[in-house]
Amino acid sequence: MTTENLKNVENDEFELKATCINNSDIKKPWTANLVYAFIGMLFGIVFVKAEIVSWFRIQEMFRFESFHMYGVIGTAVVVGMISVFIIKNLILKP
C-alpha cells in the first residue's frame, strides 16, 4: 500500500471511532436520578421488612442456625439464571 492509501485508511478508522456516542457524556437533568433513588428506597424497605439487613440474621447464617438467608440468596440466584436465560433467548439489548 502506498502512503496515501494508509492515510485514507487511518482517516476512515478515525471517522468511525469519532461517530461513537459515549452515554456518560450525555447530560441529563438531576430529576432523572429520582427513579433510581425511588427504586433504591423500595429495595431498602423490602430488605428491612424481610430482615435481610439484620445483623442477627447474618450471624445466624454464618453459624448455620437458620435457612432464611440461604433461601434469599438461593432465590436471587435462581431468578438471575432465569432472567439471563430469557434475555439471551429473546436477544434483548441493554
Look up the pTM and report it.
0.53
Residues 6 or more apart from 47 whose CB is under 8 A from it? 53
Provide the 8-state DSSP code for 72. H
Decide which of 18 and 25 is more confident.
Answer: 25
Place of cell 447464617: 61
Q: Find out whether 15 and 7 touch, Cβ atoms under 8 Å.
A: no
Is residue 55 classed exposed, middle or buried when 0-12, 13-18 and 19+ CB atoms within 10 A define those classes? Answer: exposed
Per-residue pLDDT reduced to its tens digit, 61-74 = 889 888 888 998 99
Place of cell 439471551: 88
In angstroms, the CA 55 to CA 72 distance is 15
Per-residue pLDDT reduced to its tens digit, 71-90 = 989 999 999 999 998 888 88
